[in-house]
Amino acid sequence: MFRLIILIPLLALTGCAAGQASEQTIPGPKISTVCVCRSDRYNCADFKTRREARDKYECCKQKVGYDVHNLDGDSDGIACEW
């Protein structure tokens, strides 16, 4: 008997899809279900968890090729090291 395992890409979970045009906000300051990478919009203090910060950091890094929000202040590849 075989089991079929379906893996959902991380980008789908973080809302980092190139085709998404709308932005839906969730409770809290400036955090959304999609990553907005047009301008410096997020600060580390805006995130409740390091995972939220990392997801935005990695999403924008993939979309625009750099840390637009400056979430990795020491450029070591890790966002928001509290």
Structure tokens at 74: 């020491």
80 burial via Cβ count (<10 Å: 0-12, 13-18, 19+): buried
**pTM reported for the whole predicted model:** 0.60
Domain borders along the chain are 10-64
Closest CA to 63 of 16, 7, 21, 9: 16
Give, in order, the Cα–Cα distances in Å from 28 to each of 10, 73, 74: 22, 23, 26
- Rounded to an integer, what distance in angstroms lies between the CA atom of residue 5 and that of residue 75? 36
Query: Quick one: pLDDT at residue 72?
Result: 95
From first to last of the 82 residues of the chain, give the pLDDT tens digit: 545 444 334 334 444 544 443 333 444 455 555 788 999 999 999 999 999 999 999 999 999 999 999 999 999 999 998 6
